[in-house]
Amino acid sequence: MKHYRLNILLAALAVAGCKKSEPAQEQPRPAEPKKHAVGLVTDVGGRGDHSFNDSALRGLELWAAGVAFEGSAYKPVTREEVRRSLAEDVARLEPPVEPLGVRPLVVQSKAQEDYEPNLQLLVDQGAALTVGVGFMLENAVEAVARRNPGSKFLLIDSPLLDAKGNPVKLPNVRTVVFREEEGSFLVGALAGLVSKKQVGFVGGMEIPLIKKFEAGFKAGVKSTAPKTAVLSSYTGTFDNVAAGKQIAQDMLAKGVDVIFHAAGSDGLGVIQAVKEARSSGKEVYGIGVDSDQHHLAPEAMLTSMIKRVDLAVYQAARDLVEGKLAATDVVLGLKEGGVGYALVRAEFPGKAEALAKIEELRRRIVAGEIDVPSNSAELEAFQAAP
C-alpha cells in the first residue's frame, strides 16, 4: 500500500516536472518546409521583466518567428504587426527586420542551477541555435557548447571566460556584448540639458557591467552640463525594489531632478519614487533602462536607455537561416544600432534644441570623435579633458 502511494506520488512529480520544463512550442504545420528551431533560455528574471528578458523574447518570438505568446500558446501575427512593433531606428535597418519562419523553443529558468539542464534540453529538442540570455548563463553556455559541438549557441552580455576570467573562444558560440556606455552617454547628455539642479544615477550590483552605465552617463552629463553634480549610488542587489525606492527618495530630497537607473527590478522602485515625487508637484524625471520603460510611469519618464538585445537575437537567427552564423564576438554600439535611447515623449522647454544636440552627439560618437569612457579610470581622464 505504501509503495503504491509512493509510486503515485513519484508519477505525479514526474508529470509535474515534465510539464514545467516542457518548452512552449508552436504546433508544427505539416505543409511547410522544415523550420529551423531556435531555443532560448531566460535567466531568472524570466518572461515579464519589462526589460532584458522580454527584449530577447521579442527578438526571437515576434521578430524572427512572427508569433506572439498569449495565454500559454503561440498565435501568429501579421507582417504588418511585426513592422509596427519596431522602433524607428530599427525599422530603418537594412536588410529589414521581418519574420524568418523559425520555430521558437523557450524555457524559463527558475534558479541558477537550471541554466545548464535547460540549455541541454533545448539542444536535445533539436534547436539548431540556442540563446542564453544574460551574463549569468556564461558558465552554462560554455559547458553545454563544449558537450554539443554540433549545435550553435548565442550568449548575450558576456564573452566566454575561463576560470581566471580571460576570454576564450569556442567554434560554435557567438557572443554579443553592448556598448552600454554609449547609450548611457546620450541619456546623460539629455539629463544634463533637462536638469535644473542635480542628476542622479542608481545602479544595482556594483559590477563592471553596471559601472559602464555609470561612466557613460556621467560623461554624458558632463558634455552638456559641466557644472551639474551627479550623485550616484548602488543598491547592491537587482531584486530589492524597496532599496531602489529609498535611494531615489534620498536623491530627490537632496534636489536631484533627473534619475537614471541601471538596477533591474530595483529600478521599479526608483521609478516609483520619481512618480510619487511628481504627483506631489515636483518637476522630476526618471530614465529607464534596457527596454522602453515609458509605460511604467507615463508622466514621469524622460526616456530610456535602450539595449537592443532583441536585435542581437534576431540577427543571430537570421544568420542561422542564411547559413552564415559565425562564432564571432560581436560588440554592438551606437554605430551598429545596438544601443540607443527611447522616443522622448515628455514635454519640456527647449525640447527641440535638446534633441538636436543629442542627435549631434550621437553622430559624433558614431564618427569616432567622442571616445565614451566605460570605467571609472577612463571617466576621470574624460572629465579632466577640457
Partner 1 sequence: MLEVLEALLFLAFDYAPALVFASLGAVLSERAGVVNVGVEGMMRAGAFAAAVGALVVPTPLGVVLGMLAGACLGAVHAYLCIRWRSEQVVSGMAINLVALAAGTFLLEALFAPTGTPPIAQLERWSLPLLKEVPIVRAASGHSALTYLALALPLAFHLALWRTAFGLRVRAAGEKPAAAETLGVSVSGVRYACVVGAGLLAGLGGATLSTSTLDRFEHHMPAGLGFMAVAAMVFGRWTPLGAFAASAFFSLGNALRIGVASSAPAVLQVVPQGFLLALPYALTLLVLGLQRRRGAAPAALGVPYDPETR
Which residue stretch of 28-36, 96-104, 265-273, 285-293 sits at the interface with partner 1 (rule: CB under 8 A)?
Answer: 265-273
> Per CB under 8 A, does 251 bind partner 1?
yes
Sign of the alpha-carbon dihedral angle for 194, 195, 200, 202: negative
Q: Which is nearer to partner 1, 153 or 213 (CB)?
A: 213
Interacting stretch for partner 1, rule CB under 8 A, among 62-70, 217-225, 241-249, 331-339?
241-249
Q: Is 379 in the site for partner 1 (CB under 8 A)?
A: no
Q: Give CA separation, 113 vs 54, 265, 355, 380, in Å.
A: 21, 21, 45, 39
Interface with partner 1, residue 231, by CB under 8 A: yes
Question: Is 265 an interacting residue with respect to partner 1 (CB under 8 A)?
Answer: yes
How many other CB atoms are there within 10 angstroms of residue 70's CB atom? 9
Write phi, then psi, for 182 (nearest 5 degrees): -70, -45
Q: How many chain residues interact with partner 1 (CB under 8 A)?
A: 34
Window 22 to 51, contacts with partner 1 (CB under 8 A): 45-50
Contacting residue, 55, 108, 175, 224, with partner 1 by CB under 8 A: 108
241 grid coordinates: 525594489
User: How far is it, in rounded angstroms, from Cα 54 to Cα 43?
Assistant: 11
Binding part of the chain for partner 1, among 137-145, 207-215, 267-275, 360-368 by CB under 8 A, reads: 267-275
**Is position 249 an interface residue for partner 1 (rule: CB under 8 A)?**
yes
User: How far is the CA of 298 from the CAs of 50, 239, 319, 332, 374, in angstroms?
Assistant: 14, 23, 37, 28, 30
Instruction: Collect all residues with Cβ–Cβ distance below 8 Å to 365 and sequence separation of at least 6.
Output: 182, 185, 186, 333, 334, 335, 372
Closest to partner 1 by CB, 236 vs 350, is 236
The answer to whether 195 contacts partner 1 (rule: CB under 8 A) is: no
Cα angle, residue 208 at apex, residues 173 and 46 outer, rounded to 5°: 60
Residue among 287 and 317 whose Cβ is closer to partner 1: 287
> What span, in angstroms and rounded, lies between the C-alpha atoms of 354 and 191?
10
Looking at beta carbons only, is 118 or 265 nearer to partner 1? 265
Question: For partner 1, which is the closer residue by CB, 184 or 272?
Answer: 272
Applying CB under 8 A, the residues found at the interface with partner 1 are 45-50, 108, 200, 206, 231-234, 236, 239-243, 245-247, 249-251, 253-255, 265, 268-269, 272, 276, 280
